[in-house]
Structure 1
Amino acid sequence: IAALQDGSDAEDRREFGDPAMLVAALTSHMLGREQTITVAGAEDAEPADGSTPPPDAVHAAAVQERLRAWARKELFTLRLQQSERKTVREGDGVYTLAWDTAKKRPRLSVVDPGFYFPDLPDNAGDSSDYPDTVHFAWEIDGDLKARTKARLRRITLELGPIGTRTLSDTAGERPARVPALADDGSTPLLLPGDTYQPEAGTISRLYPWNDEPSTLTCYLTDAEWDLDDIKADQDVHTLDYRYATFMTRPDGEVLDHLDLQLDFLPVIHVPNTVPEDSHWGESSLSQLMQLFDEMAGTDTDSSLASATTGSPILGIVNKGDSGRRGRGEPQMMHVQPGMVVELQEGGNIITVDTSPQLAELRNKTAELQDRLSLNARMPAVALGTLDPTKAPSGFSIELSYGPMEPLMDSMHLARDHKYQLLLKMVQRLFKAGQHPDWTGPVVDADLMWGTYKPTDKAATLTMVQDAVDKGVMSLETGVKMLVDVGFPIDDIGEEIQRIQKRQFEKARALADATGDSSAVGDYLGIDIDPDPVPAPPPAPNLPGETPPEDDPEDLQPGQQGSGGNTP
């Protein structure tokens, strides 16, 4: 914009990365230190008392571990950073998922939101509506050497009624898909597992994640158009397939309404803010554009003023060598450090001091930065502009994050459901790919955001220790607080078991309170067998009495009874 307005003078404009700094700060604080995939109920898979866990908890723990393994292989954390920077800067982010037959897992891709064109009612629609058709389109420049024209590439995913089976036809002028017919040449064939409903005239399919058959499926189309073939009244949504050239997959499948055998679009649109009345989010920079423009103008003026302050403008009166030129004619000189100028009697050097203007410009910059922190709801400590030597107490820093908490809550609210949907689609794609490890129902999974506030580990450890010892906080809550501030604890349940194994004084108190040694063993995580019941003492053999005869069945081989003639 500056180049269009100012022409070549725009090269003198200074902008020192304030928008990029804000985007980086917002992204890092919104994501937190780490992101964790969790499934509700997985923590009950290993009860502390050693009892048998419920089947739902075992399944939840297994799904949680598989999702985390998929995230590690798919570099989900890297994809998350890549997408969220676009989302914060541009207002929207887009993911796509596709099953990879070679790798046997869903592949996650980040798409530039500028290529995302959903079909919405009247190009608007409720923000909660999920579009039935999504296009991804971009232009491809022509190449004179390769003699190729400029083209438009468009990938379309759309939901539609399940149709009959189709086959790839690459023998014609353009690749296409044709109906698959039976041997009689007129009866269309169905895909394996599909059922024709003659009374409704529809085809239904039971997907492994549904309880009832569905009549919808997702179709994939990937095609190119020469820009010369696109009419003036057409746009991305209304291109004519008669002029399209369909792409072909490496396995030979022509991507002309290819049935993906899914009843959902594997596309996740993530808005940066909670949409008010449209499908789109809002960039975090949109409300700060004027501030950034003012800061760039002030930085430009400061740069120019600093040049004259470092190399001041000098005026020399009666220099002493005016013989070269006519009297009164000004002479330009190049001033450099260490230069000596001989002046005539009454001569003088006049300096133009621009340092006051530079100081005022710097004050103006500080004022704009404060306004930016206020309008962006980002405190100076979060933007990194707070002088560490002037940092207040830790309690004051905690309070300074107050305006930022509603901002983070709003950004997380706009994203939570989208990432739940993404993790649910991952499970469905594993089932669609018939992966042997993915059995059981699809469960709800969440992406938990890490904390963004600076933490005092020593203070948190002391607080947890005092609260647990005094009985006002459970050990489970205390360990979770330690995890939140960054202590290297991988599994909360396992860490609790390790702690309890070493708390012998509390185990003794438990034994005194209950008298149950098995409860003490469960608390310590060891097997404690109760003392065997002592055998009844033998009957006393009083003087003058005849010992009772032993039962022959109770005697061991080679042992004699106590009666008779035994001495």
Structure 2
Amino acid sequence: MAAPPRRGFGPFGELASGWVPNEDLRRLQAYKLLAAYDNNQAGQLAAAGGDETGLDRRELGDASKVIESALGYLLGAEQTIVVPGAEQKDGAAPDAVRNAADVQQRLRAWAERELLSFRMQQAERSAIRCGDAVYTLAWEPSKGRPVLRTIDAGFYYPELTDEEVDAAEYPSRVHLAWELPEDERRGLKARLRRITYELGPIGAASGPGRSKDGFPVREPMTGADGEPVLIAGDTVDPETGTIVRTYPWAPGRPSAVTCYLTDAEWLLDDLKAQHDIHNLPMNKARYGVRSDGQVLQALDLMIDFLPVIHLTNTIPDSGEHWGQPLIAKVMQVLDELSATDSDSAAASDTTGSPIIGLSGIRLPKDRTTGATLPLQVRGGTVWALAEGGSMHTLDTSAQLAELRARTDHLLDRLAGNSRLTSSGLGTIDPAAVPSGYALQLALGPLDSLVASMRLARAHKYALMLRMVQRLYQAGRAEGWPEGDTLPARLAWGPHTPTDRAGVLNEVVKGYTAGVLSLETSVRMLAAAGYPIDDAIQEIERITAAAAAKPQQDPAPAG
């Protein structure tokens, strides 16, 4: 991808549309190239680009194995939503503990209904393969909860200012866009669909209406005196003249900002050379209509944040917004493996069916035509050689052995440079490891890789759980009171096998000695893989059992 991007060139012909900005074109090409490696189609992509030997390239799933292995280690055995303070029993206000435990239980119930683990599998695989993944959240009145969706990173187009380029900053405007193909049966032309989330000042109320052409649009609502009507709960700040709103999660702190949603389509024929995803002609837009009749043209979502989470696989460099794929630094190794596998296949062909040279033999002929017939090597074949005749075979087994050794060498380089290690990729014999401590040292790079990947995601999942709470509050869901949202995080399970007996022994000694609390002890056991579904309930069971146990009188002295 070092060459400058070219629209409509070779295997990237479908990216010819002018609505894709130049700064995003290279990113989309990279996504397609990475997907080709993942699906064993890099050779086909090379052939489409003009490589005559591309179709002969043998790809045996090495890239996919690296991605799947990293995904498994990243996700660990399980993922648990934790609200700090929910498991605390001593030294905390009962109301605070009760509220934290209630929010934790509600978030876990939401995660189960929304198939969070399944969505994470989708998004995290994309993040590891392409470097980026995208989640969206939306309040669904019919379900009474926020719905979670994963979006292809190739559909994500943020508008980044100089201050928002850094991944730690949050953009104030985001587009999700993709092309819809022509449908002759339904009489639909090729279109571009764009969904836009944008933060802006709160405006007056608006409602569904119709344009002069009869298409759905939003129209401002006016009162009997012709003045604009405010949304219920909004007020005008007498000092600034701006419309302000108090959100349920920020009582006493009026805000003048809200999030607007626009969902529209454009005919590709209506887009000119000067149009890209950021400046489409709004007079040509056809707006969508929600199931409740609301026209999706700058629809006020009644929230002050963008319900979009951009996930990066790595911690971006300063000033960067995009993540780095796991296989980005080992793609040359994958190419070398593919080339070596192709050479091994050719060598095994001549080893299994060797080339034979004969001298002093009369070649058979066709009795009808008199043409010389080719010799065939079959089991039980006998050739009568004349005096002084000889037979020689070409032995390529030595070259095949060298190629297999080179494959093992490249796999070691792949494991080392990707930091997944040979132990992590399963290419090392477990019996060859002298001890568990030696295995732990061998897995050191993998531990570092997983820790770095989880660190890159920690803030984003905490942000997601904060958005879920606020969407529940904005939707006036039953049981969600007004007030500040509680901090919540995603706790990852162990990514490598743990010594459960050793952890249990450590917990017993630490709790007995008073250096570990009961809450910490239970959390350590759950992290080690013990079947503890709910730490709070487990603590309550242990406390109840200890209270019910009869106290033994101390033995008399002397």
Query: In the alignment, which residue of structure 2 is the partner of 1:23?
Result: 67
User: 1:9 pairs with 41, 53, 56, which one?
Assistant: 53
1:400 aligns with 2:437: no
- 1:163-182 matches, within 5 Å, as 163-170=203-210, 172-173=212-213, 174-182=215-223
What is the distance in 1 between the residues matched to 2:82 and 2:466? 12
Query: In the alignment, which residue of structure 2 is the partner of 1:158?
Result: 198
- 1:360-439 matches, within 5 Å, as 360-439=402-481
Q: How much has 1:121 moved relative to structure 2?
A: 1.3
SS of the residue 2:278 aligns to: helix
Name the CA shift for 1:502/1:439 in 2 (closer, same or farther; >3 Å): closer
Q: How much has 1:479 moved relative to structure 2?
A: 3.8
Q: Deviations over 1:415-445 (max 9, x none)?
A: 1111111000000000111011112531000
1:451 aligns with 2:490: no
- 1:5-404 matches, within 5 Å, as 7=51, 9-44=53-88, 46=89, 54-121=94-161, 125-170=165-210, 172-173=212-213, 174-184=215-225, 186-211=226-251, 212-276=253-317, 277-321=319-363, 332-404=374-446
Name the CA shift for 1:477/1:187 in 2 (closer, same or farther; >3 Å): closer
Q: How much has 1:89 moved relative to structure 2?
A: 0.6
SS of the residue 1:403 aligns to: helix
Task: Give TM-score scaled by structure 2 length.
Answer: 0.84
Alignment check: 8 A CA contact 2:77 2:493 kept: yes
Alignment check: 8 A CA contact 1:96 1:266 kept: yes
Q: How much has 1:14 moved relative to structure 2?
A: 0.5
SS of the residue 1:42 aligns to: coil
Name the CA shift for 1:66/1:351 in 2 (closer, same or farther; >3 Å): same
What is the distance in 1 between the residues matched to 2:195 and 2:536? 47
Name the CA shift for 1:55/1:412 in 2 (closer, same or farther; >3 Å): same
Query: In the alignment, which residue of structure 1 is the partner of 2:24?
Result: none
SS of the residue 1:234 aligns to: coil
SS of the residue 1:312 aligns to: coil
Alignment check: 8 A CA contact 2:519 2:539 kept: yes
Name the CA shift for 1:299/1:123 in 2 (closer, same or farther; >3 Å): farther
SS of the residue 1:238 aligns to: coil
Alignment check: 8 A CA contact 1:115 1:136 kept: yes
SS of the residue 2:218 aligns to: strand
What is the distance in 2 between the residues matched to 1:339 and 1:459? 66
Q: How much has 1:125 moved relative to structure 2?
A: 2.1
Q: How much has 1:339 moved relative to structure 2?
A: 2.9
What is the distance in 1 between the residues matched to 2:144 and 2:270? 39
Query: Mean alpha-carbon deviation: is it higher for 62-71 or for 334-343?
Result: 334-343
Name the CA shift for 1:471/1:263 in 2 (closer, same or farther; >3 Å): closer
Q: How much has 1:145 moved relative to structure 2?
A: 3.4
- What letter is aligned with 1:455? T
Alignment check: 8 A CA contact 2:204 2:221 kept: yes
Tell me, which stretches of 5 or more residues in structure 1 are unaligned?
Answer: 514-567
Query: In the alignment, which residue of structure 2 is the partner of 1:484?
Result: 527
Alignment check: 8 A CA contact 2:473 2:482 kept: no
CA RMSD of aligned residues (A): 2.6
Alignment check: 8 A CA contact 1:151 1:227 kept: yes
Query: In the alignment, which residue of structure 1 is the partner of 2:42?
Result: none
What is the distance in 2 between the residues matched to 1:55 and 1:160? 37
Q: Deviations over 1:88-130 (max 9, x none)?
A: 1111111100000100000000000100000101597232221
Alignment check: 8 A CA contact 2:366 2:373 kept: no
Q: Deviations over 1:384-441 (max 9, x none)?
A: 1112332332111111111122222211111111111100000000011101111253
Alignment check: 8 A CA contact 1:272 1:283 kept: yes
What is the distance in 1 between the residues matched to 2:512 and 2:229? 71
What is the distance in 1 between the residues matched to 2:262 and 2:296? 5
Larger radius of gyration: 1
Alignment check: 8 A CA contact 2:73 2:495 kept: yes
Name the CA shift for 1:379/1:286 in 2 (closer, same or farther; >3 Å): same
SS of the residue 1:134 aligns to: strand
Q: How much has 1:320 moved relative to structure 2?
A: 3.5
| Percentage identity across paired residues of the two chains | 48
Alignment check: 8 A CA contact 2:208 2:219 kept: yes
SS of the residue 2:525 aligns to: helix
Query: In the alignment, which residue of structure 2 is the partner of 1:555?
Result: none
Alignment check: 8 A CA contact 1:377 1:407 kept: yes
Query: In the alignment, which residue of structure 1 is the partner of 2:29?
Result: none
Q: Deviations over 1:509-530 (max 9, x none)?
A: 6x649xxxxxxxxxxxxxxxxx
Query: In the alignment, which residue of structure 1 is the partner of 2:7?
Result: none
What is the distance in 1 between the residues matched to 2:161 and 2:92? 52
What is the distance in 1 between the residues matched to 2:408 and 2:211? 69
- What letter is aligned with 1:191? I
- What letter is aligned with 1:128? A
- What letter is aligned with 1:439? P
SS of the residue 2:170 aligns to: coil
Alignment check: 8 A CA contact 1:42 1:57 kept: yes
Name the CA shift for 1:299/1:6 in 2 (closer, same or farther; >3 Å): farther
What is the distance in 2 between the residues matched to 1:62 and 1:505? 26
Name the CA shift for 1:502/1:98 in 2 (closer, same or farther; >3 Å): closer
- What letter is aligned with 1:356? A
How many residues were matched structurally?
Answer: 504
Tell me, which stretches of 5 or more residues in structure 2 are unaligned?
Answer: 1-44
Alignment check: 8 A CA contact 1:59 1:440 kept: no
Alignment check: 8 A CA contact 1:124 1:278 kept: no
Alignment check: 8 A CA contact 2:363 2:373 kept: no
SS of the residue 2:409 aligns to: helix
Name the CA shift for 1:15/1:172 in 2 (closer, same or farther; >3 Å): same
What is the distance in 2 between the residues matched to 1:333 and 1:426? 75
Alignment check: 8 A CA contact 2:196 2:262 kept: yes
Q: Deviations over 1:243-275 (max 9, x none)?
A: 111111122111111111111111111111111
